[in-house]
Amino acid sequence: MAKSHAERQKEYRERKKAEQGSKWLENESKRTKRYYIKIGELDKSEARKQRRKFQIRQLKYREKKRKEAERHNVENDIRPSTSNDVQSNDVSSSSTRLVVKLSTNKRRKCSEKKLKNRIEYLERVNSSIEKRNQSLRKKMSRLRRQTNSPKTPKSKSDKEMREAGIDPNPTIKKKLLFANCISYQLKQKSICH
């Protein structure tokens, strides 16, 4: 019966490996590297096609490895564990091996770490905003205190008349204003000397 092209090629490779060994493998890898073009040098549509090929090849490889691991487990009479916890009571009937499967979900740990870092970052931002808010509140309260106290003798006399409940009689207002002016000038002189 005639051999297919793939079968003939496979025999040829095996024969070459047996004759020349690692030297033939090195020459073969150099030969195939000449056909390889970097994705960065391809246009967008070709790069997309190449990436899709790589993705399919990777999926096939992973599936093959998974099947090999299952086959290896069956050959060694190990049953795969169904839960993520440590199982000590899962013993096969023909051997005394225990199946222990630990939870090592790397993706989950990675995502948990990212979320934890994000939470820490947001907490730091929140505390800095709270500090800024508190300092601005203090500043506002200081400004309010300054605006509530009258700065000029006229505003001081107006405030005193309002607090006392006196009608704005011009003579009383003049006398109060005069008294406030004198006290203001005396304070200014005492500050200067």
Structure confidence at residue 164 as a pLDDT band (50, 70, 90): confident
Q: What is the CA radius of gyration of the chain?
A: 44
Structural domain includes residue 6: no
Give yes or no: residues 98 and 137 share one domain.
no
Structural domain includes residue 92: yes
For residue 193, pLDDT over 80 is answered with: no
State mean pLDDT over 94-113. 68
What is the model's pLDDT at position 170?
Answer: 84
Give yes or no: residues 118 and 159 share one domain.
no
Structural domain includes residue 13: no
Helices (H), 34-105: 44-75
Tokens 């509140």 — which residue?
137
Q: CA–CA separation, 9 vs 19, rounded Å?
A: 15
Structural domain includes residue 75: yes
Q: CA–CA separation, 96 vs 54, rounded Å?
A: 42
Give yes or no: residues 73 and 87 share one domain.
yes
Amino acid type, 166? I
Q: What is the pTM of this model?
A: 0.29
What is the model's pLDDT at position 120?
Answer: 94
Give yes or no: residues 100 and 56 share one domain.
yes
Structural domain includes residue 40: no
Residues whose CB falls within 8 Å of the CB of residue 81, separated by 6 or more in sequence, listed in order:
87, 90, 99, 100, 101
Give yes or no: residues 113 and 132 share one domain.
yes
pLDDT, tens only, 23-56:
888 888 888 887 888 888 889 999 999 899 999 9
Structural domain includes residue 35: no
Task: Give long-range contacts, CB 8 A cutoff, 24+ apart: 10-14.
Answer: none
For residue 166, pLDDT over 50 is answered with: yes
Structural domain includes residue 1: no
Q: Which domain range does residue 90 map to?
A: 50-104
Give yes or no: residues 99 and 54 share one domain.
yes
Structural domain includes residue 100: yes
